[in-house]
Amino acid sequence: MPYAWSVKRTEIWFDITMENASSTSQGKFRIIRNESEKRFEPLRNGTPVVNLRLGFPVKIGLFIIVILCAGCRINPQSTDGHTLAVQETKSSMNTPLRFLALGDSYTIGESVAESERWPDQLAEALVAEGIMMEPPEIIARTGWTTGELLDAIGTAQIQPPYQLVSLLIGVNNQYRGYSQEEYRAEFAVLLTQAIDFAGGDPARVLVVSIPDWGVTPYAERFHQETVSREIDAFNKINRQEADRLGVHYVDVTSISRRAEQEAELIAEDGLHPSGKMYSKWIEVILPAAQEALGVGEDR
């Protein structure tokens, strides 16, 4: 059963259908646990029904659920009876969390060491915060478009659910002159898949914006203002899709543009971010990742 942790209160919602020889009844139920109180409150369509009669097998099952859910809570955003977030606290986790990163050269870390790639730096930063993490699983390759990432996912041995999934893709669609309409359609499919890989929970997914390679030395042979303008247009699309599906969105484009004045933010190939730039990305990605994992300062 999906669950999350809290100090104060537990609310576990679920649906039950009870049948007998003459009728079938359905209802929503929730278990509420406070520090000073433990009670079971049956509901029908969100309304408490204190006098609802439950058969002995159902009561036994609910009692087992109460025992198993001791010390856990539903995320306050998930107590509507429809969505339950799966969360584990730093103090209670015995199993490292899994992180899947989907993308292109920016995710695979072209021209930097593996330890300098932003997914690896993010995992390391989370571990430094006391969160047990497995090494990130990365499905990414330099040059991939949205379509090529879709093809790769179709043949990859992906084993969900993951507690955190990231998606950063689109620069090669822009570079090759592919249409924005095609990008939107394929990005939407990718984002839906990312949510599926996160156990169906959008709150566990991060969309990272496309960096602006128009400020790099490599782009001097191109019309740099045009590149930057097109990158903004593609980022407008991925932000809209992220908002539509309710996932986290992290803007690293503004950081990438600092490379115009800070040469050390560009790798030796003159195009891709350096490990130092990826470190600056982590400053804005880490809070979103913590929120996705339910371990931010406000949780």
Write out the two tokens for 185: 């359609």
3-state DSSP helix/strand/coil % of the chain, to nearest 5 = 45, 20, 35
Q: What is the pLDDT of residue 15?
A: 45
Residue 203 in this model has a pLDDT that exceeds 80: yes
User: Model confidence over 147-177: pLDDT tens digits?
Assistant: 999 999 999 999 999 999 999 999 999 999 9
Can you spell out the DSSP letters for 103-130?
A: ESHHHHTTTS-GGGSHHHHHHHHHHHTT
Element (H, E) at 8: none
pLDDT at 93: 54
Q: Which domain holds residue 14?
A: 9-78
Final residue of a structural domain among 30, 46, 78? 78
Same domain, 135 and 278: yes
> Given pLDDT bands bounded at 50, 70 and 90, which one contains residue 295?
confident
What domain count does the chain have? 2
**236 and 109 in one domain?**
yes
Q: Is residue 56 part of a domain?
A: yes
* Percent with pLDDT over 90 in the chain: 67
Quote the tokens at residue 27: 């209802």
Residue 175's domain is classified under what CATH number?
A: 3.40.50.1110
The phi, psi pair for 68, rounded to 5°, reads: -65, -30
Q: Which residues contact 244 (CB under 8 A, 6 or more apart)?
A: none
Do residues 212 and 117 share a domain?
yes
Residues 120 and 267 in one domain: yes
Alpha carbon separation from 32 to 38, 66, 245 (Å, rounded) = 6, 9, 29
13 and 161 in a single domain? The answer is no
Q: Do 263 and 121 share a domain, yes or no?
A: yes
- Distance from the Cα of residue 8 to its chain's centroid: 25
